[in-house]
Chains A and B, each alone.
Chain A
C-alpha cells in the first residue's frame, strides 16, 4: 500500500470560484388611471409578501409650507389609530388576526405606510392599507396621546449623543433649508392642531403623489388586478411642491460643540455637502466612501479601531435626500482621544484626496460593492428595499441590472476625482457631543468653536 502525501489545504487562500449569474427578477409596473404608480415583483422564498405605500411628501414640505416641523411624522403616526370603519383597537386586532404588521412613518422627503403579512391574506391587508391612506379618521383622543408620546420620545432623544450630533450637524449644513431640522421642538409639538394633520393628510395622501411597491409570494398579474380593485377609487388631487432653498456656503472648518454634562464618551461627526442619488457621480462617490470608511475593511476602521482602539463602530456614509446630499463620518470615541481621532479622520480624508488608490484595493472595493448589492436579491425585504431606492429616486428602469457592471468599470481616477470633489476636507464641519470640560481644549485645535447646550432652544 502506498501512502499518499496530502497537500496542506491551508497553505494557500482558496481562490474565488466562477460566479453564478445574478439575475434580478422581472418587475410589473403600471400607472393606474388615478395616478398611483405600482411596482410588483414575485418572490416565492416564503409564503408572505411585503411592501410600502410611499407618499412623496415628508417633514421637509411640512416645515417649509406649513412652518410645522414634524407634522408629517405626527400625521403618519395618527393615521394608524383610526379610520372611518375601524377603531384603533380594531385595526390592531385585525392585523394580528391575519398575521400582519403595518408601520407608518415619515422622513424628510417621504411618508411611508409599510406592510408585511401572510400571502393568504393579502387582500385583507391591502384593504387596510388603502383605508389608512384614504379614510383615516384622526380621533382627537388618539392624537393627544400620540402628541404626549412624541414629546416624551423627544426628551429621551435629547439625551442621546448620536441624536444630538445629527441634529446639530444638519443645522450647520442646511441652514434655512428644511433639511436642517431632524425633529421638532417640544413647543412645536405642543402647537400642533388636529386640523393641521387633517389638512396635511388631504393634501399629500393622494394617488398622484404615491408609489406602491410590493414583493412576495403572489402572481403579479392577479396582484395587479387586486390592487386596481382596492386602490382604483382613490381620488386624485394635485400636490404642492417643496420650494428649494439655497444652502449656506461653508468656508473653513468650524467646530460645533454640544455640551452634554457627565458624558463618558464623545460623539464625533465630520460632515460636508455632497450630492443626490440621481447625480452621475453617485457611484464614484459611493466607491470612494466604501474605501474610506464604508466597510469593515476600510481605511478609517483599520486606523482608528483596529490599530488604535479609539472607538468601537466608526463609519462614514453618503446620504442622499431628494434635493441635496451630504457626506459624513461618525465615531463615538474615548474622551481623551477626540483630537487624536479627528487627526486620523482628516489624515485619511486627505489621503483619499491626494493619492490614487492602488489596483488591489480598488478591485477589492469594487467586488465588495457589487457582492453586497447582490445579497439584496435573496430576501423579500432586500428586494423591496432595492426597488424603493430605484423608484423613489426615479432612477433608470435597468438600474439593478446594470449596477454591477457600472461598479466594475470604475477606475482609480474616478475615486480620486470623487474624493476631491465630495470629501470637502478644507470646509468640513465638525460636530462633537460631550462634556465640554473634558473635550473643549481638544476641540479648539481644529477651528473656531461654537458651543451649544443639549437642551432644546
Chain B
C-alpha cells in the first residue's frame, strides 16, 4: 500500500537531454513539460528578477514559431500552457488532447534550439512583469510575505538573498544581450529534462523526442556556481512595512536540511505535525486554543515551493498573522512555546502515525493534481523532473514515501533540536502602517 507502481520509462539523447515518460491511458490527454535546471538563485548579479523575466521571453517567439504562435498553436489544439520560475528550476508545460503531442514537442524543441526575440518583445514583457509584481506584491495586502521578505534577512550569499521578483531598476537594465547570453548558458539540452505523462506510449514519445530534440547541439559546459551559504549564526531580525493589511504578522525561517538526508525525512514529518492544517500544532495552539493568531501556515519553502523542488540553501518557514491586541513579542513568545515543546518532547507516537497517513494521502493527491484540474498530473511531472535533475533518479517518485514512513519519534525530536534552534534563525515582522478601526 505504501509502495507505488507508477510506470516509468527513461532515456537520454546523445546531446544529454533526458526524457521521462509515464504512460497512462485513462483519458486521451497528456501533460508535457520541459524543465531547465536553472532558477532565480543563479540569475546574474545586478539582474534581479531576470530568470523570471526570461521565462516570459520563452513565450515570445522561436525560429519557426513567431510571437503568439506558440500560444495560439497550443490553445487551438485544445490545450492550455504556462511556465513558472522556482529557486532552482524553471518549467514550461502544456496539458493537451493526446493528438497534439507531436505538435507540442515541435514547439518545445524549436524554442530550446533557437529562441528568437527582439527588443520590442523585451520591452513588452518587462511591462507585463512589472504589472505582475504590482498585482502580486506591491498592491496586495501581505504581498511577498514572507517569501520575498525572509531571504534577504536569512541569507548572506547574493544568490540566495536577493529579490527574486526583481527590482524595477534591474528589470529596466536587462538587455537583449542578457537574454541571449542566459539562453546560451543555461537552456541547453544537457541542462534539461523532457517529461510526458498521460496518453503517450514510450515508443512513440521517445521517437518524437529524438526527431525534434535530437539535433539540438549539447551546448557549452555549465559555469561553476557558488550558492554556498555560511552557517546560520544568531537571530537575524528584520521589519517590513505593511501598507494595506491591518493585522501585524511575523514569519520565522529556520535552515532546512539537504534533501534526502535522514534529517530531511524527519523534519518533513515534524513540519506536518506543526503546519498540517487545523490539526497542526501551530494552528491549533495559536488560532484555535490561545486565540492569539488569526491565521498561520508554514512548510519548507512556504508558500512558493515544496519539499522536493529545491537544490540549495532553503528555509523551513512559519507564518503567523495575529490580533493587534497582542504585541509581536507576545505572539512570538506563544509561537516559541509551541516550538520549545517539540524540541523538549518531540511528538507522540500516535501523532506521528496520523501525520504519516495524512502525508501519504496528500502525496498521492499531489501526483494526480498539484495544479488544479486543468493540468492533470502536474505534480507527477514536477516530482519526476526534480528527481531527475537533482537526484538523477526519477524512480524516486515511487520509492520516496518509504523514507518518510520509517521516521521514528526519536528522529523527529532530534531534528527539532537540530533545526528549530531559537538562537539560529531569521525573523521578519510585517508592521501595519495604519491602525485597524474598532
Identify the closest chain B residue to A361 (Cβ): B76
Asked if B284 and A89 make an inter-chain contact with CB atoms under 8 angstroms apart, the answer reads yes
> Given A311-B128, A372-B374 in contact, is the A17-B99 Cβ separation under 8 Å?
yes
Chain B hits for A118, CB < 8 A:
357, 360-361, 364
The answer to whether B129 has its CB under 8 Å from any CB of chain A is yes
Instruction: Please indicate the chain A residues that have their CB under 8 angstroms from the CB of B95 in the complex.
Output: 375
Give every chain A residue within 8 A of B279 (Cβ-Cβ): 89, 92-93, 95-96
Known: A92-B279, A96-B279, A152-B247. 10 other contacts (CB 8 A): A10-B64, A17-B99, A96-B355, A99-B361, A159-B246, A302-B68, A332-B134, A374-B27, A374-B29, A378-B26
Most chain A CB within 10 A, of B243, B357, B377, is at: B357
Best-surrounded residue of A17, A99, A311, A376 (most CB of chain B within 10 A): A99
Contact: B364 with A46, CB < 8 Å?
A: yes
Binds A, one of B77-85, B259-267, B305-313: B77-85
CB distance from A14 to the nearest CB of B (A): 4
Do the beta carbons of B27 and A333 come within 8 Å of each other? Answer: no
Once the chains bind, are B354 and A368 in contact (CB under 8 Å)? no
Contact A10 B63 (CB under 8 A): yes
- Other-chain residue from B28, B106, B131 in contact with A14 (beta carbon distance below 8 A): B106
* Alpha-carbon separation in the docked complex, A296 to B377 (Å): 21
List chain A residues, Cβ under 8 A from B151.
none
Most chain A CB within a 10 A radius of its CB, from B277, B358, B377: B358
Interface size on A, residues (CB 8 A): 81
Asked whether B72 lies within 8 Å of A306 as measured between CB atoms, the reply is no
The CA of A148 and the CA of B291, in the complex, are separated in Å by: 10
Collect the chain A residues with CB atoms within 8 Å of residue B368's CB. Answer: 45-46, 379-381
The reply to whether A96 and B294 contact each other, CB–CB distance below 8 Å, is: no
Rounded to whole Å, the gap between the CB of B336 and the closest CB of chain A is 22
Which residues from A are CB-within-8-Å of B131?
265, 309-312, 332-334
For residues 333 through 362 of chain A, which have their beta carbon under 8 Å from a beta carbon of chain B? Answer: 333-334
Q: A46–B80 Cα gap in the complex (Å)? A: 23
- Contact pattern, B 124-148, Cβ under 8 Å of A = 1, otherwise 0: 1111111110110011111000000
- What does the 1/0 interface line of A114-140 toward B look like (CB < 8 Å)? 001110100000000000000000000
A364 at the interface (CB under 8 A from B): yes
Known: A17-B99, A101-B277, A161-B139. A378 touches B364 (CB 8 A): no
A93 to B277, CA, bound (A): 10
Q: Say yes or no: A155 contacts B436, CB within 8 Å.
A: yes
Set of chain B residues within 8 Å of A18, measured between Cβ atoms: 99
Chain A residues with Cβ below 8 Å from B436 are 155
Residue in B80, B132, B138, B278 whose Cβ sees the most chain A Cβ within 10 Å: B278
Determine whether the beta carbon of B354 is less than 8 Å from that of A371: no
CB<8 Å pairs between A and B, sample of 13: A13-B65, A13-B73, A16-B100, A19-B28, A92-B284, A149-B295, A152-B247, A156-B142, A264-B134, A302-B68, A334-B131, A376-B373, A378-B27
Q: Does B376 contact A (CB under 8 A)?
A: yes
- A375–B374 contact, CB under 8 A? yes
Distance (whole angstroms) from the CB of A189 to the closest CB of chain B: 13
Determine if B99 and A96 form an interchain contact, defined as CB atoms under 8 angstroms apart. no
Decide if A295 is an interface residue (CB 8 Å cutoff): yes
**B128 and A98 within 8 A (CB):** no
User: Do B357 and A99 have beta carbons less than 8 Å apart?
Assistant: yes
Instruction: Kindly state whether residue A88 has any CB partner on chain B within 8 Å.
Output: yes
**Cβ–Cβ contact A312 & B132, under 8 A:** yes
CA–CA, A334 and B168, complex, Å: 14
Q: Which residues of A contact B277 (CB under 8 A)?
A: 92, 95-96, 101
User: What is the minimal beta-carbon distance from B69 to any residue of chain A, in angstroms?
Assistant: 8
Known contacts A16-B99, A159-B244; is A265 also within 8 Å of B138 by CB?
A: yes
Residues in chain A near residue B291, CB distance under 8 A: 145, 148
Q: Is A160 an interface residue (CB 8 A)?
A: yes
Q: Which one of B126, B199, B373 lies within 8 Å of A385 (CB-CB)?
A: B373
Contact B77 A367 (CB under 8 A): yes
Asked whether B139 lies within 8 Å of A264 as measured between CB atoms, the reply is yes
Q: Which of A20, A120, A297 contacts B71 (CB 8 A)?
A: A297
**Complex interface residues of chain B between 41 and 71 (CB less than 8 A to chain A):** 63-65, 67-68, 71
Instruction: Collect the chain A residues with CB atoms within 8 Å of residue B211's CB.
Output: 9
C-alpha gap A263/B68 in the complex (Å): 31
Chain A window 1-43, contacts with chain B (Cβ cutoff 8 Å), 1 for yes, 0 for no: 0000000011101111111111000000000000000000000
Residue B300 at the chain A interface, CB threshold 8 Å: no
Please report the C-alpha to C-alpha distance between residue A10 and residue B82 in the assembled complex, in whole angstroms.
22
**Is A319 an interface residue, CB under 8 A from the partner?**
no
User: Looking at the complex, which one of B75, B81, B141, B361 makes contact with A100 (CB distance below 8 Å)?
Assistant: B361
Does B149 lie at the interface of the complex (its beta carbon under 8 Å from any beta carbon of A)? no
B80 contacts A296, C-beta separation under 8 Å: yes
Give the distance in Å from the alpha carbon of A172 to the alpha carbon of B61 in the complex. Answer: 42
Closest chain A CB from B138 CB (angstroms):
5
When distances are taken between beta carbons in the complex, the residues of chain B under 8 Å from A297 are: 68, 71-72, 75-76
Residues A332 and B77 in contact, CB atoms below 8 Å apart = no
Given the known inter-chain contacts A160-B140, A379-B369, A379-B376, please indicate yes or no for A307 contacting B75, CB distance below 8 A: no
**Which residues of chain A from 79 to 102 have any CB-CB distance to chain B below 8 Å in the complex?**
88-89, 92-93, 95-101
Given A17-B102, A145-B291, A296-B80, A156 and B246 touching (CB < 8 A)?
yes
With both beta carbons as reference points, the residue of chain A lying nearest to B73 in the complex is identified as A13
Contact indicator A382/B361 (Cβ below 8 Å): no
Instruction: List residues 306-333 of chain A with CB under 8 A from any CB of chain B.
Output: 306-313, 332-333
Name the B residues within 8 Å of A457 (CB-CB): none
Q: What residues of A have a CB within 8 angstroms of the CB of B284 in the complex?
A: 89, 92
Enumerate chain B residues within 8 angstroms of A253, measured Cβ to Cβ.
none
7 tightest Cβ-Cβ pairs between the two chains A and B: A371-B78, A309-B127, A99-B361, A364-B76, A20-B28, A378-B376, A382-B373
Tell me how far the C-beta of A184 lies from the nearest C-beta in chain B, rounded to whole angstroms. 16
B104 to chain A: closest CB distance in Å? 9
Tell whether, in the assembled complex, residue A22 and residue B245 are in contact, meaning their CB atoms are under 8 Å apart.
Answer: no
> Do A378 and B71 contact each other (CB < 8 Å), given the known contacts A17-B102, A92-B278?
no
A47 sits at the interface (CB 8 A): yes
Does A368 contact B76, Cβ atoms closer than 8 Å? Answer: yes
Does chain B have a CB within 8 A of A273? Answer: no
**Within 8 Å CB of B321, what residues of A?**
152
The residue among A116, A297, A305 with the most chain B CB atoms within 10 A of its own CB is: A297
A101 to B130: give the CA distance in the assembly, Å.
Answer: 37
Q: Judge whether A19 and B81 touch: CB under 8 Å.
A: no
A370 to B127, CA, bound (A): 33
Partner of B78, one of A21, A101, A308, A374: A374
Closest beta carbon of chain B to A89's beta carbon, Å:
7
* Residues of chain A with a CB closer than 8 A to B80's CB: 296, 372, 375
In the complex, whether B33 has a CB less than 8 A from a CB of chain A is no
**Residues of chain A from 230 to 281 with CB closer than 8 A to chain B in the complex:** 262-265
**Considering only CB atoms, which chain A residue lies closest to B197 in the complex?**
A378
B99 touching A19, Cβ below 8 Å: yes
Which of B24, B81, B110, B364 has the most C-beta atoms of chain A within 10 angstroms of its own C-beta? B364
- Supposing A16-B99, A96-B279, A379-B373 touch, asked if A145 and B124 sit within 8 A by C-beta, the answer is no
- Give the chain B neighbours of A89 by CB distance below 8 A: 279, 284, 288
Q: Are B354 and A378 in contact (CB under 8 A)?
A: no
- Enumerate A33-70 residues with CB–CB distance to B below 8 Å: 45-48
The residue from B71, B106, B135 contacting A332, defined by CB atoms under 8 A apart: B135
Does A377 reach chain B (CB closer than 8 Å)? yes
Q: Which residue of B lies closest to A80 (CB)?
A: B278
Closest chain B CB from A283 CB (angstroms): 16
**Residue of B with least CB distance to A298:** B75
Bound: A19/B199 CA distance, A: 11
Question: Shortest distance in angstroms between A154's beta carbon and chain B's nearest beta carbon?
Answer: 10
Given A155-B436, A370-B78, A378-B198, are A98 and B123 neighbors across the interface (CB < 8 Å)? no
